[in-house]
């Protein structure tokens, strides 16, 4: 994709991220998560550390109403029980009715039939953003049967066309997570090079980022920042916190703990100093 970038139109993503982080901490967005059983505690802790207000309301007859109250919402398909599937459908309808921005994370779709069918159904409801690894984005765009599980088996670059295609067909933002995060709204592409390999050694390292995107989308509602800016800001803040955490960690266990500390400590100046972003209009 590098030939498509227009450096002259480079987005001031670090500035956006610094602003939105301040907004988020000033008025914590109620962030509604329907997410998988493996990462639900870690996801809530990531949101609390950052300064957002998590709430996991994943049962039928509550999820839809709550989607209307929430500032932002995540639907993550990691362990989609029948109850969660029904709650997700209800929540997406509730979000649509009230204009709540929402993120779809199509975990491990491709070979696994139940979540794959649900992901395709939900994508038809036009998520504000879609976050996945390259394999998941390729599978959601119909260009691959996906990886063997939750790992990315395709590179971020290989999913760039799929991401653009999905962004254009849904009208939303698509974020491909990997060593470099690629975020696009179908017209602009941003690449965030921050991050650390240890994020792949902690369960929920990617899933929690989807929740952070929902929180930033919630915070952005009080601003003039668009969804591309909010989603890419989430990626930037999260991956900069990961770098800070890795610098003080002895392994995956202490990294996960330090990531929470870093999410609470990272500030506007840190973001401006550490950001490694490329991008602009196609």
The answer to whether residue 222 forms part of the interface with its own copies (CB under 8 A) is no
| Rounded Cα gap, residues 134 and 121, in angstroms | 20
Instruction: Work out whether the CA dihedral 35, 40, 43, 47 comes out positive or negative.
Output: positive
Which tokens is 222 given? Answer: 């009080």
DSSP β-ladder status, 129-133 and 173-177: parallel
The answer to whether residue 108 forms part of the interface with its own copies (CB under 8 A) is yes
Minimum CB distance to its own copies smaller for 41 or for 171 = 41
The answer to whether residue 232 forms part of the interface with its own copies (CB under 8 A) is no
Among 157, 161, 226, 261, binds its own copies (CB under 8 A): 261
Among 125, 203, 221, 268, binds its own copies (CB under 8 A): 203
Q: Return the SS3 of 51.
A: coil
- Give the up-direction half-sphere exposure of residue 192: CA atoms within 13 A in the CB hemisphere: 32
Find residue 112's DSSP bridge partners.
109
The answer to whether residue 58 forms part of the interface with its own copies (CB under 8 A) is yes
Helix ranges (H only) for the chain are 13-26, 40-50, 63-69, 82-98, 113-123, 134-140, 160-170, 207-220, 227-247, 252-265, 268-274
The answer to whether residue 3 forms part of the interface with its own copies (CB under 8 A) is no
Among 97, 145, 247, 265, binds its own copies (CB under 8 A): 265
What would the x/- binding string for its own copies be over residues 142 to 161, using CB under 8 A?
------xxxx----------
Residue 277, burial from CB neighbour count under 10 angstroms (0-12, 13-18, 19+): buried
**Least spacing, CB of residue 85 vs its own copies, in Å:** 9
Minimum CB distance to its own copies smaller for 56 or for 192 = 56
The answer to whether residue 267 forms part of the interface with its own copies (CB under 8 A) is no
**Least spacing, CB of residue 215 vs its own copies, in Å:** 13
| Rounded Cα gap, residues 133 and 108, in angstroms | 9
Which window, 9-17, 104-112, 123-131, 219-227, contacts its own copies (CB under 8 A)? 104-112
What would the x/- binding string for its own copies be over residues 5 to 44, using CB under 8 A?
-------------------------x-----xxxxxxx-x
For the chain, the C-alpha Rg in angstroms (whole number) is: 17
Footprint of its own copies (CB under 8 A): 30, 36-42, 44-45, 48-49, 53-59, 61-62, 65-66, 69, 78-83, 108, 111-115, 148-151, 200-204, 249-254, 256-265
């Amino acid at each position: 994709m590098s030939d498509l970038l227009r450096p002259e139109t480079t987005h001031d993503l670090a500035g956006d991220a610094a602003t939105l982080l301040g907004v988020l901490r000033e008025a914590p967005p109620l962030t509604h998560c329907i997410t998988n059983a493996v990462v639900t505690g870690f996801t809530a802790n990531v949101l609390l550390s950052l300064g957002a207000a998590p709430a996991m309301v994943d049962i039928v007859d509550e999820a839809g109403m709550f989607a209307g109250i929430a500032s932002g919402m995540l639907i993550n398909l990691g362990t989609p029980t029948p109850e969660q599937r029904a709650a997700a459908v209800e929540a997406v309808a509730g979000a649509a009715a009230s204009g709540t921005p929402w993120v779809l994370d199509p975990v491990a779709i491709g070979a696994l039939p139940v979540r794959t069918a649900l992901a395709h159904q939900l994508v038809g409801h036009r998520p504000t953003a879609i976050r996945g690894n390259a394999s998941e984005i390729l599978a959601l765009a119909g260009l691959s049967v996906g990886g063997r599980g939750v790992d990315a088996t395709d590179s971020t670059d290989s999913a760039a066309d799929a991401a653009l295609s999905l962004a254009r067909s849904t009208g939303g933002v698509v974020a491909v997570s990997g060593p470099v995060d690629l975020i696009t709204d179908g017209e602009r592409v941003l690449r965030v090079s921050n991050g650390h390999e240890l994020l792949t050694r902690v369960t929920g390292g990617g899933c929690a980022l989807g929740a952070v995107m929902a929180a930033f989308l919630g915070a952005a509602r009080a601003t003039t920042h668009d969804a591309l800016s909010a989603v890419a800001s989430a990626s930037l803040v999260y991956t900069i916190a990961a770098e800070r955490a890795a610098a003080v960690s002895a392994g995956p266990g202490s990294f996960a703990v330090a990531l929470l500390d870093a999410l609470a400590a990272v500030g506007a100046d840190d973001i401006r100093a550490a950001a490694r972003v490329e991008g602009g209009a196609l």
